[in-house]
Structure 1
Amino acid sequence: MITNLLVANRGEIALRIFRTCRELGIGTVAVHSDPDAKAPHVTAADAAVRLPGAAPADTYLRVDAVVSAALAAGADAVHPGYGFLSENAEFARAVLDAGLLWVGPSPESIELMGSKVESKRVVAAAGVSVLPELDPEEITEDDLPVLVKASAGGGGRGMRVVRERAELAEAVSAARAEAASAFGDDAVFCERFLEHGRHIEVQVLADGHGTVWSVGERECSIQRRHQKVVEEAPSGVDERTRRRLFEAARAVCRAVDYVGAGTVEFLVTDDGEYYFLEMNTRLQVEHPVTECVTGLDLVAWQLRIAEGRALEGEPPRPRGHAIEARLYAEDPRADWRPGSGTLHRFAVRDVRAEFEVPDRYGVRLDSGVVDGTEVSVHYDPMLAKVIAWGPDRTSAARMLAGALASARVHGPVTNRDLLVAVLRHPDFLSGDTHTDFLTRHADRVLTAGPDGTVVRLSALAAALADAAHNRSCAPVLGSLPAGWRNVPSAPQTKTYRHGELDLVVRYRATRTGPVSEDHPEVTVVSVTPEQVVLECDGVRRPFHVSRYPGLVAVDSPLGAVSLAPVPRFTDPSAELAEGSLVAPMPGTVARVVVSAGDEVRAGQPLLWLEAMKMEHRVAAPTDGVVTELAVAEGAQVEQGAVLAVVTPRESTDVEAKEEPA
């Protein structure tokens, strides 16, 4: 029996496993990096062991350090979670060699399925359809488009779609670099890219006595950068295709003597053909949707199977429908740029259960963040998984969209508006959920968010609430309305920045209350430092205002708006030179491909920043000359730091003409 379990992971992953351990009476041990010293998963565990350092390579990916932590804390078993070392055969062997119980499949099974190239050979030999592997050196125009994939990992890392033969070499090189950074293995391969397929995965449970369950399937086709953002169970495939996928998944498990929980992933075409993609030899991020519709606790079954227990009977049939949305700290409008910094407020309304199946239809929340959590550049930017379980698909989608739209998320920019737009999109609701969904509907979902009117009303509410806050803090005459004058005078003004837009708010304080100069049709019903009620066209709505350093967050039934107060006076020394390229997020300079003095063209890559396990290209904004290169490979940079300066060609031409003879 397992009595004390170390979870070799962090965040919501560790918290999810701890929840089941508490229910089963198993002690828990957390590990943590230095940035995670005060993280929720650390305080939730019975014991915690520090892994000195910050970067994953120095902490959560250190096999020796994690095994030593388990022994030091008196653990008798190790659960890898998902991500980090969860599919590392060397880690599994080290755990077993240390005399500890490994909660997962055998190292041999992990090894076979860990290489996408080798796994496809094994699976094909078992009679399961696969997409042929293509040698990058032999690809012709007739093979395009192709997908370059990392052999040793997933999650969208090390993956590139190539549509032009001339782009292949650069794509392979970039994929190799990203794969080496993320997985320690730069091996990549190519396969035919199917533009319009469905990503369907089968959850499996296999015990050590020869029984294999196909525990339902999940639809995971809504993806960005080949990484899932919305998942659901059951999928929309027909019953015949479902049975064929279940049979194929069991065949894969038997081919590698699989034991434990795992996921077999397939690409399914509209005519019902399917192709094996990969097997994840671990629990999946999206496992909560399967738990909701089956009532199973998959973590509990992982632990039972590791203890030698047998599966009995048949897997339960699904009840209702569940949909999960991954809430990320990232900006879809800015090429999915990840965010970091303080998450000041995080609250999802009407949550019925956390890390477990609700007792009835409702919203489940699996999250590793709380108010004040620092979103680190070192780790994946996922903040939470919000799951809705309803009697049918439409009910679940409506419930989930409502929960996300009403959530208070104050801090780094998130993909919340995109998720709501997807869940309310008519094509999604009709079941048209193919892997190219975000590409086909980019004009609607990538730009989703409050419109200009809502932003301006939110800015007005922010200005009035700020003024009320200032008056409440005033040492004298605090009861007077802000800006009140006994004689006519100029209006009060306040400026905020929303994205690239500056919003100037003008209002007057009158005997009957504040009046907007810019929105005469709006009536200010009431004002407090935390809430402003505005009436527009006969409809009253509350605007909730929260203030933090450099941020004013406004939440209303019309949408959430983040505003940055603009100071009345700016520091001239803060002005950047023309053509300066600044870091869009904190990170490490992974590669630099230009030197000072080089001529560059608009869009040409200059360097790559590595942040949150992904590489982000920094390109020249215009034709010109690199007049300054401020960083070198390996340098750590903060958000806003100058990386390089590209002087436009027109400017350099003028300077050359003016140079004295």
Structure 2
Amino acid sequence: MFDKVLVANRGEIAVRVMRACEELGIDTVAVYSDADRNAGHVRYADEAYNVGPARAADSYLDQEAIVDAAEKAGADAIHPGYGFLAENADFAAKVEAADSVTWIGPTSDSMEQLGEKTKARKVMRGADVPIVPGTTDPVTDPEEVHEFGEEHGYPIAIKAEGGGGGRGMKVVRTEDEVEEQFESARREGEAYFDNDSVYLERYLERPRHIEVQIIADQHGNVRHLGERDCSLQRRHQKVIEEGPSPALSDALREEIGEAARQGVKASEYVNAGTVEFLVEDGEFFFLEVNTRIQVEHCVTEELTGIDIVKWQIQVAEGEELDFAQDDVELEGHAMEFRINAENAAEDFAPARGGTLDVYDPPGGIGVRLDDALRQGDDLVTDYDSMIAKLIVHGSNREECLTRGRRALAEYDIEGVVTIIPFHRVMLEDEAFVSGEHTTKYLDEHLDEERVAEAQEKWGSTEASSDDEEPVEREFTVEVNGKRFEVNLEERGEAATVPANANSGGQKPKPAGGSGGNGETVVDAEGETVSAEMQGTILDVRVEEGDEIQPGDVVCVLEAMKMENDVVASRGGTVTQVAVSEGESVDMGDVLVVVD
């Protein structure tokens, strides 16, 4: 058994992995950015190491820093969780090449073969698994998109090879959109996955999104653990997942499960993974393989009683699966609700900050909470918006829905806005309750008025302003990048720690914009266009002197795993461009000045 595992992730998934390690008698190591000094996963771990600034590219995506932390800590394995470097074959290879460190996941070769979509399509087609009509080689020129449209018609999905969850995917509905969407998909692929290769698929208009959980060991055993239905999505981002799917017959369920198992077996895949399918009009098509643990793996664990994360660790150690395919049974029904710090009444805008003044999660039979935050924690907005996952289990779907309504009503959060009111609306929504929704349902039929009413009725209150000075304060001190906690008692004025008091500390950000690189000086007259959230500038669409109209896109901002067009509210002449491509910005930073 491993002695010590470094978890190369943050938040609730890091805590989830650490809990599995704890039950297996394994010590845990956390890594954290400057923004996550006081994060829940850091508190939970046995030890923790700073790996860089808040920007993910300089911390959680810094491969050298993470491997170096593992070596400093004496960890003998690395678990990547999901997101960040979890599906990065180069990082897996780097860990595999490190002395005395084991990669907990599929091999780098398998990740390259199945993690890149065109290669995975070839593998599945070779295993007689149905695939959506599309290309099996990367597309490098917009002209190829035009040719595909002439042959197969529109709409067309342009997808990043390393993408997933809607990231790096653009839908082309007419030939006039080809060039813009082609470049946008490549840009997202490069920004998120360091891979600008894209491929094409026929875009299915109203499919169900079905995924099959698999686990495979080093002894040639491959098991599927049933399916999950992830059809309730907003802009290709899942919000509620459930299993088994209410849309599948028993015969189709068995056929899809076996197809997933055979496809993975043909690739000689090892460890946990998910094979995703689109189902429409009784037909199913292979979509992609996720070569990692999924956010919604908890649904399958509740249905089967199998701890997938533990098996990831045990398989990496060479253990053989101790259950046969016929032993896998799905008991009852389970649902997972993503508790995102977003305001569903404002187009799901991510929270800009806040403190958990009240955090009182639900409990009782059939209720599971995967989280990392606790009451009094500040919300970190530098990464994705998910702060917890609520999973409920019942003897059937009706009881599961009832239990979900009860648990969501019990979930008391104040100080940070969440989408709990949205979830409560969905559990009264006729299409969802009857199981008739598709992946397009929320984008086309969401009752925004009902959501606004729910937010007003059940929404979290704003963060309170409490000027009372605490008697005792906890500080973080770093020595050679390793985290230690120190408690100091205050007397009189609030205690402070100088910015340079620790070796890995985060220095104060200068006032103004420019992403902390220095104060933005607005030396032009006119109306400023500012960032509405923290993120990274992916593209600047204007130059000084350009004439623009109201609604024109001035730049593209990546935030919360999505591209966001920043538009001008008024027309005029661009008198100053205060940002450049690749620059990190904070909420309120000036981007462009228009006169």
Cα 1:107–1:631 shift into 2, 3 Å: closer
Distance 2:399 2:545 in 1: 59
Q: CA offset at residue 281 of structure 1?
A: 1.1
Give the 5 Å matches for 1:349-498.
349-352=361-364, 361-444=365-448, 447-450=451-454
- Counterpart in 2 of 1:639? 587
Cα 1:435–1:42 shift into 2, 3 Å: same
- Pairing partner for 1:144 from 154, 158, 177: 154
User: What amino acid is the match of 1:173?
Assistant: E
- Counterpart in 2 of 1:116? 117
Give the 5 Å matches for 1:51-200.
51-98=51-98, 99-134=100-135, 135-140=144-149, 143-200=153-210
* Kept in 1: contact 2:273–2:291 (CA 8 A): yes
* Kept in 1: contact 2:421–2:455 (CA 8 A): no
Distance 1:128 1:632 in 2: 45
Q: CA offset at residue 376 of structure 1?
A: 3.2
Distance 1:374 1:186 in 2: 35
Q: CA offset at residue 622 of structure 1?
A: 4.3
Larger Rg: 1
- Pairing partner for 1:597 from 542, 545, 562: 545
Distance 1:334 1:544 in 2: 15
Q: CA offset at residue 168 of structure 1?
A: 1.9
Q: CA offset at residue 581 of structure 1?
A: 2.8
Q: 1:317 aligned to 2:329?
A: yes
Q: CA offset at residue 317 of structure 1?
A: 0.8
- Residues 113-122 or 396-405, more deviating: 396-405
Q: CA offset at residue 586 of structure 1?
A: 2.3
- Residues 409-418 or 234-243, more deviating: 409-418
* Kept in 2: contact 1:398–1:424 (CA 8 A): no
* Kept in 2: contact 1:333–1:447 (CA 8 A): yes
- Counterpart in 1 of 2:264? 253
- Pairing partner for 2:533 from 585, 589, 603: 585
* Kept in 2: contact 1:579–1:621 (CA 8 A): no
User: Gapped runs of 5+ residues in structure 2?
Assistant: 136-143, 468-524
Q: CA offset at residue 617 of structure 1?
A: 0.7
Q: 1:617 aligned to 2:552?
A: no
Cα 1:613–1:378 shift into 2, 3 Å: farther
Q: CA offset at residue 373 of structure 1?
A: 3.2
- Pairing partner for 1:329 from 310, 335, 341: 341
Distance 2:176 2:358 in 1: 46
Distance 1:451 1:387 in 2: 21
Give the 5 Å matches for 1:235-250.
235-236=245-246, 237-250=248-261
- Residues 392-401 or 406-415, more deviating: 406-415
Cα 1:63–1:634 shift into 2, 3 Å: closer
Cα 1:87–1:631 shift into 2, 3 Å: closer
* Kept in 1: contact 2:299–2:334 (CA 8 A): yes
* Kept in 2: contact 1:345–1:370 (CA 8 A): no
Per chain length, whose mean CA-contact separation is higher, i.e. which structure has more relative contact order (CA < 8 Å, sep 6+)? 2
- Counterpart in 2 of 1:40? 40
Normalised by the size of structure 1, how large is the TM-score? 0.75
Cα 1:221–1:373 shift into 2, 3 Å: same
User: Gapped runs of 5+ residues in structure 1?
Assistant: 353-360, 453-540, 551-576, 648-661
* Kept in 2: contact 1:214–1:250 (CA 8 A): yes
Distance 1:66 1:160 in 2: 32
Cα 1:211–1:367 shift into 2, 3 Å: same
Name the SS for the 1:427 alignment partner. Answer: helix
* Kept in 1: contact 2:354–2:462 (CA 8 A): no
Q: CA offset at residue 630 of structure 1?
A: 4.1
User: What amino acid is the match of 2:280?
Assistant: T
Distance 1:238 1:138 in 2: 37
Distance 1:167 1:430 in 2: 36
Cα 1:348–1:231 shift into 2, 3 Å: farther
* Kept in 2: contact 1:55–1:378 (CA 8 A): yes
Q: CA offset at residue 578 of structure 1?
A: 8.0
Q: 1:234 aligned to 2:244?
A: yes
- Residues 304-313 or 137-146, more deviating: 137-146
Cα 1:246–1:450 shift into 2, 3 Å: closer
- Counterpart in 2 of 1:469? none
Distance 1:448 1:402 in 2: 21
Distance 1:407 1:399 in 2: 12
Q: CA offset at residue 275 of structure 1?
A: 0.6
Distance 1:230 1:388 in 2: 11
Q: Deviations over 1:184-214 (max 9, x none)?
A: 1111122111111100000111111221111
- Counterpart in 2 of 1:210? 220
* Kept in 2: contact 1:179–1:185 (CA 8 A): yes
Distance 1:66 1:259 in 2: 23
* Kept in 1: contact 2:417–2:461 (CA 8 A): no
- Pairing partner for 2:277 from 263, 266, 280: 266
How many residues matched?
Answer: 524
User: What amino acid is the match of 2:91?
Assistant: F
Distance 1:603 1:365 in 2: 42
Q: Deviations over 1:600-658 (max 9, x none)?
A: 233221111222333211112344443554444444433233433445xxxxxxxxxxx
User: What amino acid is the match of 2:189?
Assistant: A
Cα 1:160–1:337 shift into 2, 3 Å: farther
Q: CA offset at residue 61 of structure 1?
A: 1.4
Name the Cα RMSD after superposition: 2.5
Distance 1:451 1:19 in 2: 33
Name the SS for the 1:195 alignment partner. Answer: coil
User: What amino acid is the match of 2:276?
Assistant: E
- Pairing partner for 1:340 from 342, 349, 352: 352
Distance 2:538 2:444 in 1: 32
Q: Deviations over 1:29-66 (max 9, x none)?
A: 11111111211111111111211222111111122221
- Counterpart in 2 of 1:298? 308
Name the SS for the 2:34 alignment partner. Answer: coil
Q: Give me the identity figure in percent.
A: 45
- Counterpart in 2 of 1:470? none
Cα 1:549–1:589 shift into 2, 3 Å: farther
Distance 1:544 1:8 in 2: 33
Q: CA offset at residue 333 of structure 1?
A: 4.2
Q: Deviations over 1:500-545 (max 9, x none)?
A: xxxxxxxxxxxxxxxxxxxxxxxxxxxxxxxxxxxxxxxxx9x999
Q: Deviations over 1:132-186 (max 9, x none)?
A: 2254242336621111211112122111222122112111111211111111111
* Kept in 1: contact 2:539–2:581 (CA 8 A): yes
Cα 1:203–1:329 shift into 2, 3 Å: same
Distance 1:235 1:173 in 2: 36
* Kept in 2: contact 1:82–1:283 (CA 8 A): yes
* Kept in 1: contact 2:354–2:463 (CA 8 A): no
